[in-house]
Structure 1
Amino acid sequence: MLNDKVALITGGGQGVGQGIALALAAQGAHVIVTGRTLNKCETTADLIRQRGVKALPLRCDVKSKDDLQSIVDATVKEFGRLDILVNNAQEVARGPLLSLTDEQMNGNWESGPLATHRLMKMAYPHLKETKGCIINMCSSVMRRWDVATYGAYAAVKAATEQLTRAGACEWGKDGIRVNAIMPHAKSPALAGWMKANPVEAEHFQKGIPLGYVGECEEDIGAFVAMMCAESSRYLTGQIIGLDGGQAF
Structure 2
Amino acid sequence: MKRLSGKAALVTGAGQGVGQGIAYALAAEGARVAVTGRTLAKLETTVAEIGRRGGTALAVECDVKDAASLQRAVARTVEAFGGLQILVNNAQEVPLGTLEQVDEAAFAAGWESGPLATFRLMKLAYPHLKKNGGSIVNLGSPAAKRWDMSGYGAYGAVKEAIRQLSRAAACEWGKDGIRTNVLMPLADSPAMAWWTRERPAEAAAFVATVPMQRVGACEADIGRFVATLCSDDCAYINGQSIAADGGQAFLG
TM-score range, shorter chain: over 0.9
Asked if structure 1 preserves the Cα contact closer than 8 Å seen for 2:216 and 2:246, the reply is yes
Amino acid at match of 1:77: E
Q: Which runs of 4+ in 1 moved over 6 A?
A: none
- Where does structure 2 lack aligned partners over 5 or more consecutive residues? none
Give the Cα separation in 1 of the matches to 2:231 and 2:187.
22
Distance 1:183 1:209 in 2: 14
Structure 1 residue aligned with 2:191:
189
Contact 2:144 2:152 in 1 (8 A): no
Q: CA deviation at 1:53?
A: 2.2
CA distance in 2, matches of 1:52, 1:166: 37
Q: Within 1, Cα distance between the matches of 2:232 and 2:118?
A: 23
Aligned to 2:226: 224
C-alpha contact 1:81 1:130 (8 A) present in aligned 2: no
What is the aligned-residue RMSD (CA, Å)?
A: 0.7
Q: Which residue of 2 aligns with 1:159?
A: 161
1:116 paired to 2:105: no
Q: Quote the Cα distance in structure 2 between the aligned partners of 1:9 and 1:221.
A: 11
Residue type of the alignment partner of 1:153: Y
What are the residue-to-residue correspondences of 1:44-63 with 2, within 5 Å? 44-63=46-65
Per-residue deviation at 1:51? 2.5
1:145 aligns with 2:147: yes
Partner of 2:201: 199
| Matched AA of 1:78 | A
List per-residue Cα deviations over 1:91-128 (Å, max 9, x = no partner).
11211101221111110100000000000000000000
Structure 1 range deviating more: 144-153 or 95-104? 95-104
Match of 1:97, SS?
A: coil
The residue number in structure 1 matching 2:17 is 15
Distance in 1, Cα, partners of 2:113 & 2:4 = 28
In structure 2, how many angstroms separate the alpha carbons of the residues matched to 1:50 and 1:238?
Answer: 34
**Residue type of the alignment partner of 1:12:** A
Query: 2: distance between equivalents of 1:246 and 1:90?
Result: 22
Provide the aligned length of Structure 1 versus Structure 2.
Answer: 248
What is the CA–CA distance in structure 2 between the aligned matches of 1:205 and 1:94, rounded to whole Å?
18
With structure 2 as the length reference, what TM-score do the two structures score? 0.97
Of the candidates 89, 102, 105, which is equivalent to residue 103 of structure 1?
105
Corresponding position of 2:30: 28
Once the two structures are aligned, what percentage of the paired residues are identical? Answer: 57
The gaps in structure 1 that reach 5 residues or longer are none
Instruction: Map 1:65-144 to 2 at 5 A.
Output: 65-144=67-146
Which letter does structure 1 place at the counterpart of 2:169? G
**Equivalents in 2 of 1:168, 1:80: separation in Å?**
24
Deviation at 1:171, TM superposition (A): 0.1
> Which amino acid in structure 1 is aligned with residue 5 of structure 2?
N
- What amino acid does structure 1 have at the position aligned with 2:115? P
